[in-house]
A and B are shown apart, each in its own frame.
Chain A
């Protein structure tokens, strides 16, 4: 009789103790005669080795893609690799072993020292960049599942007008700047990761998602039937980074195995408008004019940057609405001034915390100002991108052969098969009339 009584008191005591700790009253658990108190079961997450496996797969994929593109010169190999990586990184790993998204984690980690970024994510971000520095954009050719999906659906690519190609190409840099900025402005627990939010194909990889995401991705696929790789060329922020590195890469895909016969078959077949034709010599007066234009544009660059920064600062209102604190403060203000009658979950939760409205307002103002600064940086970046593009366009280069544009070429290898010299190398056609007359 005493024992249960004692245990009852100990329970009461326990409850009081717990009460003191958390200021919440608990109905005590009865002391059951023959019933053990169960443990809550928590399923384990993915094993730690899975991320190493992903990295290993990425490394193998990058090596294979570079080998197929530069050494083996095998379009078939690249195509198969793309299919495999679409299946592995895309559908099996559900598109989330993603260097494109890792940009944001790296940006956040650089700006927020409290975010201890996992080493695997840094490796995921850096590996394709390193490979590109040596071999060009072979990551895009055969490893990236987003690229692979678009590569497979590009069945009737049309030529995009050159001016449109150049203009749309700028979007990727703007997107890169915006994504880095928003990531850097957010916190690790409430990330503003726009690249992930507007990933066009992740809903397909998961075989399910919101209707908006499916429509959004479907549009990209339908457009992708006629315009090769629309996401890669005009939006992919990682592609923008890779393009810059590919520009100075140590090696790069070559179209003819040795000599160019100037047949322009490769340029016709490239679905991505990434092959540049040989240049013709300019008369001296045109060259002088070109130099003057270049000088003008170089002087214009700082003006564009300053103008962009000024315009960008003005965007602090709409930009700051992306931040949850600013949204909450706006809402609470509306409720307090009686402009709206009902409350939202967020404003309820805020009132439950007992924080003062002044405090929230102060933080919202600080955040809005931060977004003003950030908007200035973003505007300056856009100005820089436009200015740099104009300068890049007015730089004269001398080309005697058809060459891949190192920034835009994704090393897909479609041009190989169309090069007569490549056909000769493979022994598919005779080398020359002289050699074909031999038995």
Chain B
């Protein structure tokens, strides 16, 4: 058996053994993770609007220059108030759309008259998303009434960082990862309203 070609080099043998061990380890970890029941789906970041306290961290902590978080309006929850606490400053001088009365620093909320019923005037409030900076002032204001305005991560903008800078800065643990196929969250109240509407047909 002293055949030169079959002589095993000790170094090559150890190297080969370690290589096999490395491969086995890799296959093991991959297999362990693949074998879990889990879904193979991508996760994205989202704000739980019921936990959010509109602290303004979303505006400043996002790695993007203009935050990926914007305010949205859940029209089903909105009261269409004339004196909207999400639109007007607490000490507004007049109920008009001039900037000095507005809570929003960029004037990103559009107020349009809908109709008058029994002497009460109703207005619709829509977020102009390209102007919204995600400061959440309107969210805080609206929370005094129906809370139909709330903050959401906009997935056309979000980079989906592995360690979301806002999630770390979030004081109320409102950020969480959600499956990419259902990337937006509703308030529980809104959820109930939608279910109610679906049941009513």
| Residues of A participating in the B interface, judged by any CB pair closer than 8 Å | 14, 17-18, 21-22, 24, 26-30, 32-35, 37-40, 42-46, 48, 51, 94, 96, 98, 101, 104-106, 109-110, 113, 115-120, 122, 126, 129-130, 133, 188-193, 196-197, 202, 206, 208-210, 244-245, 247-250, 324, 344-346, 348-349, 352
Q: Taking the complex as formed, is B79 at the interface, i.e. its CB lies under 8 A from any CB of chain A?
A: yes
Q: How far is the CB of B2 from chain A (nearest CB, A)?
A: 23
The 7 closest A-B pairs by CB, nearest first: A116-B38, A27-B79, A45-B155, A349-B172, A345-B171, A346-B171, A43-B156
Determine if A96 and B162 form an interchain contact, defined as CB atoms under 8 angstroms apart.
Answer: yes
- Given A118-B41, A248-B15, is A17 in contact with B196 using a C-beta cutoff of 8 Å? yes
Chain B 57-79 per-residue mask, 1 if CB under 8 angstroms from chain A, else 0: 10000011100000011111111
Report which of A42, A110, A129, A192 forms a contact with B33, defined as CB distance below 8 A: A110
Q: Taking the complex as formed, is B101 at the interface, i.e. its CB lies under 8 A from any CB of chain A?
A: no
Determine if B163 and A94 form an interchain contact, defined as CB atoms under 8 angstroms apart.
Answer: no
Task: Count chain B CB atoms within 10 A of each CB in A30, A44, A113, A245 and give the residue with the most.
Answer: A30
Determine if B161 and A96 form an interchain contact, defined as CB atoms under 8 angstroms apart.
Answer: yes
Interface majority SS (helix, strand, loop, mixed), chain A: loop
Q: Taking the complex as formed, is B183 at the interface, i.e. its CB lies under 8 A from any CB of chain A?
A: yes
Determine if A110 and B53 form an interchain contact, defined as CB atoms under 8 angstroms apart.
Answer: no
Chain A residues positioned under 8 Å from B22 (CB to CB) = 133, 244-245, 248
Chain B residues positioned under 8 Å from A352 (CB to CB) = 53, 172
Chain A residues positioned under 8 Å from B120 (CB to CB) = 30
Determine if A32 and B114 form an interchain contact, defined as CB atoms under 8 angstroms apart.
Answer: yes
- Given A118-B41, A129-B26, A196-B163, is A42 in contact with B79 using a C-beta cutoff of 8 Å? no
Q: How far is the CB of B19 from chain A (nearest CB, A)?
A: 4
Q: Taking the complex as formed, is B99 at the interface, i.e. its CB lies under 8 A from any CB of chain A?
A: no
Q: How far is the CB of A426 from chain B (nearest CB, A)?
A: 30
- Given A37-B75, A42-B184, A190-B167, is A21 in contact with B189 using a C-beta cutoff of 8 Å? yes
Determine if B37 and A116 form an interchain contact, defined as CB atoms under 8 angstroms apart.
Answer: yes
Task: Tell me the nearest residue of chain B to A349, going by C-beta.
Answer: B172
Q: Taking the complex as formed, is B5 at the interface, i.e. its CB lies under 8 A from any CB of chain A?
A: no
Chain B residues positioned under 8 Å from A43 (CB to CB) = 154-157
Determine if A48 and B63 form an interchain contact, defined as CB atoms under 8 angstroms apart.
Answer: no
Task: Tell me the nearest residue of chain A to B180, going by C-beta.
Answer: A45
Bound Cα distance from A72 to B63, whole angstroms: 41
- Given A21-B189, A116-B38, is A197 in contact with B163 using a C-beta cutoff of 8 Å? yes
Q: List 5 additional A-B contacts (Cβ < 8 Å) besides A115-B38, A345-B53, A345-B57.
A: A17-B192, A22-B189, A35-B124, A38-B126, A244-B22
Instruction: Show 12 residue pairs from A and B whose CB-CB distance is below 8 angstroms, ordered by the A residue.
Output: A17-B196, A27-B79, A27-B146, A28-B79, A29-B76, A29-B80, A44-B155, A45-B158, A104-B162, A116-B39, A196-B163, A248-B19
Q: How far is the CB of A388 from chain B (nearest CB, A)?
A: 14
Determine if A39 and B53 form an interchain contact, defined as CB atoms under 8 angstroms apart.
Answer: no
Q: How far is the CB of A9 from chain B (nearest CB, A)?
A: 14
Chain A residues positioned under 8 Å from B43 (CB to CB) = 118, 188
Task: Count chain B CB atoms within 10 A of each CB in A29, A122, A196, A202 and give the residue with the most.
Answer: A29
Chain A residues positioned under 8 Å from B30 (CB to CB) = 122, 126
